[in-house]
Structure 1
Amino acid sequence: MDEDKTKLEGTVDILAMLRRTLSVLGAYSWKDVAYVAESPHALQALDIAIPRRIPPRSNLPTCVFVHGGSWQRGDKNGGLNQDIDEAFVGAGYLGVSVNYRLSPEVQHPEHVKDVAAAVTWLYRNIAKFGGDPNKLVLVGHSAGAHLVMQILADPQYLTAAGMEQPIDTFVKGAVGISGVYNIVRLANTSFYGTLVTNPPFGERAEQWREASIGMTVTRVGTTSPLTKMPLLLVNAHEDFHFNEDAQELERWLTAAGNNSIQRHVIPTCNHFTIVEQLANDDLDSNPTMQLIKSFVAEIADPDEISPLKNTFN
């Protein structure tokens, strides 16, 4: 494809997009950008937020947020996830929020494939918005963290989406917030767990095992990018059994050779408020964003980052 073409892959002409740009909370925001080129589903879309006065060639890192909702509900624009992309702009980055198709319309691994398609689209297009395509940081909450870890655990998803670059060359790290990593544990923990796992993963324990992150890493082996990827695992004090999931994931990956894992528990929140507070402008009351800022500063070549504090009025 001719790189000089001005039309963005999988969506409308960039000039048309600029005409639809909204100014929100110190950021310009593009809403519902399709990341699938042919016949996209309404949920195969993402939002992009950038600083109002982004410096030329800023090469900013981009935080890519994937919402939770038990693989069956949730939206990048609503409820707990409102304004998270703009919150990342306030923290000093480009912000992206991703939607994906939901169950019961689709089952695993279709949700994962959608997130892989979104990441591929961003790698190819984020430079047009002032982001560095080689400085993506993936952030997921609950079921969204499961999807993020899946595309890092098995490179086949990005390959199938058309990505030729190894994922560890452009994704600098990932953040799992109250992530669901062990689907077998989820199914067996409570009656609610059985409702959550079917229809997304079916009724059989074999399907649950195959969808668990540890099983994916075991199947792929040492070639799994997740065995080397810098990770930040954040949980709430009141987080169902997901603290156990994070501890288990850390053990699995450490045993596989990953020595770049940070794990934290936020004492003043629960499984839902931990993500709701991400949009809070007051960093003193937003410990999760503080952790993300420190993490990104470590992994995304901070000396190359243009300071956003000089780009706002």
Structure 2
Amino acid sequence: MKNCWHRRRAGIAMIFLLSLTGLANASKLEDIAYGNDPAQRMDVYLPDQASSQRPLLVMVHGGAWRFGDKKNRAVVKNKIQRWVEQGWVLVSLNYRMLPDTPPDQQAKDIASALAEVQKLAPQWQADPKQMVLMGHSAGAQLVAIIATNPALTSAYPKLHWQGAILLDSAALDITQIMEKRHPKLYDRAFGDEPEYWRQNSATHHLHAKVKPILLVCSNRRSDSCNQAESFSAKGKALGVATTVLPQNLSHLAINSNLGSEGEYTEAVEKFMFQLTNFKNQP
């Protein structure tokens, strides 16, 4: 019994230590409000080194438009260790979700959050003009629709970002999904109205002024890479700089592994640095 207790204490200590490793060279500003709802909050991870030109990486978690959290280890841990330690400011967003808030309103939350990030950036010694958007899964769909549909950001005329990174979104063309057999989660999110499907399809909203987009997709899921390739082809035809990056990783690993050492992280990082004026690339 005593040995069991010691093992349990050791396990708890290890979990505690692991939870700290992501903040070894960073400080955290927690639950900054960008709206009145308790879900409209963001965490900000700041590098220790002094700078007045830090770029911003804004992360939108996934979770079928229904669950997920800005604090999840898969969302932030490796990204903190890789990019905050290099000098980036990482902002991780929460937003209102289903069943109370449909995806089009979730996207408006993201737009509001981005405007607040840009406003507060100078307080974090960050450059508000050097902002890169990133989202995983449902969060990638939200980032994609923000990046392509100017109506969603029309209330914030000064809002600006350099580009977007979509981590394994299989929901860039909702209409295409709904017209075939599909998981029930899409019905719960997007209902049965074709106009609503179209409204929430980033592929439909592509236009020539869209900023560069990197589409990471799991080649273990045919729907993800197929949607990415279709989106990219339409974007390129319009003159948009789109790149598809297939990875032999699971849907979850595409998010959790990003920031760890390897060619995948290096490819995403190269895109990030090409978008910004930041000179601290290792």
Identity rate of aligned residues, in percent?
A: 25
1:123 and 2:118 aligned: yes
1:157 maps onto 2:152 in alignment: yes
Q: Give the TM-score normalised by structure 2.
A: 0.85
Q: Deviations over 1:223-249 (max 9, x none)?
A: xx42xx111111122135010110011
Higher mean displacement: 79-88 or 180-189? 79-88
1:190-248 CA-partner distances (Å, limit 9, x unpaired): 442xx21233222223321221112223xxx55xx42xx11111112213501011001
DSSP-derived class of the 1:55 partner = coil
Alpha-carbon separation, structure 2, partners of 1:78 and 1:298? 28
State the Cα distance separating 1:136 from its structure 2 match. 0.1
Structure 1 CA distance for aligned equivalents of residues 51 and 85 of structure 2: 18
Distance 1:143 1:173 in 2: 18
Residue equivalent to 2:65: 71
Q: 1:308 to 1:247 in 2, by over 3 A?
A: closer
Q: Is the 8 A contact 1:48 1:85 kept in 2?
A: no
1:171 to 148, 161, 166: 161
The letter of the residue matching 1:262 is T
> Does the 8 Å CA contact 1:82/1:279 hold for their aligned counterparts?
no
2:149/2:202 contact within 8 Å kept: no
Partners of 2:233 and 2:137 in 1: CA distance: 19
Quote how far apart the aligned CAs of 1:289 are.
2.5
C-alpha spacing 1:246/1:30, structure 2 compared with 1 (3 Å): same
| 1:112-261 aligned within 5 A | 112-160=107-155, 163-165=156-158, 167=159, 170-179=160-169, 180-192=171-183, 195-217=184-206, 222=208, 225-226=209-210, 229-258=211-240, 260-261=241-242
**Root-mean-square deviation (CA), in Å?**
2.2
- Flag structure 1 segments of 5+ consecutive residues without an equivalent: 1-22
Q: CA deviation at 1:308?
A: 8.0
Checking the alignment, whether the CA contact within 8 Å between 1:47 and 1:85 is kept in structure 2 is no
Q: Contact between 1:84 and 1:95, CA under 8 Å: does it hold in 2?
A: no
Q: What is the number of residues matched between the two proteins?
A: 260
TM-score when scaled to structure 1? 0.77
Local SS of the residue matching 1:24: coil
The aligned counterpart of 2:33 is: 34
CA contact (8 A) 2:107 2:152 kept: yes
Q: Distance in 2 between matches of 1:35 and 1:85?
A: 22
Gaps of 5+ in 2: 1-21
Secondary structure of the equivalent of 1:74? coil
Q: Which runs of 4+ in 1 moved over 4 A?
A: none
